[in-house]
């Protein structure tokens, strides 16, 4: 029963001690990391490999960066989201491992509204939808895991009014996320916790947001139908966010039955 996690670490070298402690405690089989903020050469491979993980990395200096960690062999890596050969941002990494195809996703933030950044966000999400359509045709379970930078619904936000004009909660962004769901992808956490409030994965560093639980849910695991049929558990692990020098995100995990 593989356990698959997503975790935006917000600089892997700055948070390495926290990440290693969490890996040892939670023991996930597969981990999709985002916002590495380092190149592949600067990625701290050795301490993670010592915990029994194989690695696939798509890094970028200072910004972005995604990785897949797996206790199983990693095959067929795809670095970069297809659809725009001019896009040099390290935001998408896909691979096959443990009988599942997984993608580590760090979608653009998109702020401020009305700028090229928001246009890039919407274009990137459309490219993701187009590529995800092809993944649905595969005869294998697929999990799209990562920081989508989208708050899907008001229930996923402590104060919807405060986020109304933010790119994460704009109708265009939410519409792009729903387009994935309408194509057949399952929001794993919401599928098992349809009415739960306070199910947040991100809390800003400012204003005591974590202590007040003023959060948002932007880290998601979307399951293809073949993966959704195997879904047993989905949970948010808030413990890493409580640690000193924590990332502003916290991990989300799913457990799938063996195929």
pLDDT digits (tens, 9 = 90+) for 151-176: 999 999 999 999 999 999 999 999 99
pLDDT at 259 over 80: no
pLDDT digits (tens, 9 = 90+) for 213-233: 999 999 999 999 999 999 999
Q: Please report the pLDDT score of residue 53 as a whole number.
A: 98
pLDDT band for position 89 (cuts 50, 70, 90): very high
pLDDT at 99 over 90: yes
pLDDT at 1 over 90: no
Name residue, tokens 């993980």: 53
Percent of the chain exceeding pLDDT 70 equals 100
Q: Please give the average per-residue pLDDT across 179-207, as a whole number.
A: 97
Q: Please report the pLDDT score of residue 255 as a whole number.
A: 98
Cα 233 from chain centroid? 17
Q: Please give the average per-residue pLDDT across 66-90, as a whole number.
A: 98
Residue among 141, 222, 138, 127 nearest 176 (CA): 127
Cα separations (Å) of 208 from 16, 45, 199, 215, 244?
Answer: 23, 33, 17, 10, 14
Q: Please report the pLDDT score of residue 12 as a whole number.
A: 98
Q: Please give the average per-residue pLDDT across 133-159, as a whole number.
A: 98
Domain 3-256: CATH architecture, name and number where available: 4-Layer Sandwich (3.60)
Percent of the chain exceeding pLDDT 90 equals 99
Cα 185 from chain centroid? 15
pLDDT digits (tens, 9 = 90+) for 45-73: 999 999 999 999 999 999 999 999 999 99
Q: In the structure encoding, which two tokens stand for residue 160, read together?
A: 């919807």
Q: Please report the pLDDT score of residue 74 as a whole number.
A: 98
Mean confidence (pLDDT) of the chain: 97
């Amino acid at each position: 029963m593989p356990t698959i996690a997503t975790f935006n670490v917000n600089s892997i070298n700055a948070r390495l001690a926290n990440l290693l402690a969490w890996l040892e405690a939670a023991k996930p089989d597969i981990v999709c990391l985002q916002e590495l903020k380092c190149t592949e050469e600067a990625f701290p491979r050795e301490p993670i490999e010592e915990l029994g993980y194989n690695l696939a990395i798509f890094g970028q200096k200072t910004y972005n960066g995604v990785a897949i960690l797996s206790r199983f062999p990693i095959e067929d890596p795809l670095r970069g989201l297809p659809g725009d050969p001019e896009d040099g941002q390290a935001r998408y990494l896909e691979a096959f491992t443990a009988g599942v195809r997984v993608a580590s996703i760090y979608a653009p933030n998109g702020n401020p509204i009305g700028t090229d950044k928001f246009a890039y966000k919407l274009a990137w999400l459309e490219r993701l939808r187009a590529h995800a359509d092809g993944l649905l045709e595969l005869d294998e379970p697929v999990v799209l895991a990562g920081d989508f930078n989208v708050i899907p619904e008001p229930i996923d936000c402590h104060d919807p009014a405060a986020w109304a004009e933010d790119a994460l909660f704009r109708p265009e962004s939410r519409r792009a996320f729903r387009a994935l769901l309408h194509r057949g992808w399952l929001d794993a956490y919401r599928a098992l916790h349809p009415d739960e409030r306070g199910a947040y994965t991100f809390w800003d560093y400012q204003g005591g947001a974590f202590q007040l639980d003023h959060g948002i849910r932007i880290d998601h695991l979307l399951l293809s139908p073949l993966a959704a049929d195997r879904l047993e558990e989905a949970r948010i692990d808030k413990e890493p966010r409580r640690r000193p020098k924590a990332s502003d995100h916290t991990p989300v995990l799913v457990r799938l039955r063996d195929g």
